[in-house]
Amino acid sequence: MKQSLELSSIRGELQRMEDSIIVRFFERSQHPINELIYLPRGYRTPQMPADFDGSFLEYRLRKREREDREDGRFADVREHPFYPAPEDLILSFRHGDQQDVARVVLNRNEEIMKMWLDAVKVLCRPGDDREYGTSVSTDVEILQHVSSRVHFGEFVAESKFRSSRGLIRSLIASGEIDALTEALRDREVERKVAERVGEKGARYDIDPQVISDFYVNSIIPLTISVEVEYLLKRSEMDAEPMHYLRVQSMASKLRSDPRFEHASEADMRRIVSRMLTGEGGEKAAEYPWGGQPLSGLELELARASTKGKLLKNEASPTT
């Protein structure tokens, strides 16, 4: 479904997301923390592989995303997996013409996971009722709803860009990131959101301060950060679209290698840029594909992007 960039439509969508998040918060608050589901190898089921060292939450979230991937969920550029696979990038570009948002690549789910693990300690009472399956199923739904809400900042940013192109381009060109961040904020709207979600939480017997604080201290700041990142990457993609695709496709492939699983985005971009330029003296043997650019994947991404606008003359793959 194509997402409208009209502010009235965006506000309506954000409010519907609030309802989904608050209902799940209420459902999760009916159970204690159940800490075992968050500990590596804390709670085990017979179905879990013997060599799986993660938590029960990670296991269930990975399982859910495998099913979602098979059903095509991550072909929608509005969806962002917690455990991305290289094919997600291709699918999002292939179906990107369904959206008016630029096809930049960003994912803040690692931060969202940390946000939730902190929030559950405040939302839920201490203790263990052994209702692990119910608790973790609600956790997975909350994480996916919060991810959708935070990453919706891409559409918010695109709407703001279209109404203030000159200002935003000027701030990006001059490197005034703090000023850009401030320009994107509307503190009165943020205050109203915090007040509204608190009132909604109270209707579900959730402490209004808990849900309000979660928005004020977590969801809203991270959404603004997504807006800034989106606009910076949008500017980069506009300037050098093929270089942007090359960096993102190779970074996605690197992510599937355990050696790079916990590398920061800045580290990934630096590694890929040095590989593309041949700088830094990296040995080809250090990389799973021998250090060669993934031209096949790059071409697939380019073919799928914006109805071919980014690739006017396809070259034959070199690998």
User: Looking at residue 21, what is its pLDDT?
Assistant: 97
pLDDT digits (tens, 9 = 90+) for 165-220: 999 999 999 999 999 999 999 999 999 999 999 999 999 999 999 999 999 999 99
Determine the Cα–Cα distance for residues 247 and 7; give it in Å rounded to an integer: 32
Tell me phi and psi for residue 159, to 5 degrees. Answer: -65, -45
174-196 exposure pattern, b = at least 16 Cβ within 10 A, e = fewer: eeeeeebeeebeeeeebeebbee
Contacts of 218 (CB under 8 A, 6+ apart): 115, 119
* Residue the block writes with tokens 């929608």: 76
How confident is the model over 93-118, as a mean pLDDT? 77
Output the average pLDDT for the chain: 80
User: Looking at residue 283, what is its pLDDT?
Assistant: 37
Answer whether 255's CB lies under 8 Å from 261's CB.
yes
Query: Does residue 106 or residue 124 have the better pLDDT?
Result: 124
Tell me phi and psi for residue 91, to 5 degrees. Answer: -65, -40
pLDDT digits (tens, 9 = 90+) for 244-288: 556 666 666 666 666 666 666 666 666 666 555 554 434 333 433
Contacts of 166 (CB under 8 A, 6+ apart): none
Examine the pLDDT at 316 and tell me if it is beyond 80: no
DSSP string, 269-306: HHHHHHHHHTGGG--GGGSTTTT---HHHHHHHHHHSG
Rg (CA), the chain: 21
Neighbouring C-beta atoms of residue 169, cutoff 10 Å: 14
Q: If pLDDT is split at 50, 70 and 90, which confidence band does 76 have?
A: confident
Examine the pLDDT at 80 and tell me if it is beyond 80: yes
Determine the Cα–Cα distance for residues 285 and 136; give it in Å rounded to an integer: 41
User: Looking at residue 22, what is its pLDDT?
Assistant: 97
CATH 1.10.590.10 residue ranges for the chain = 7-239
* Residue the block writes with tokens 């956790």: 139
DSSP 96: G
Instruction: For domain 7-239, give its CATH number from 1.10.590.10, 1.10.10.10, 3.40.1190.20, 3.20.20.10.
Output: 1.10.590.10
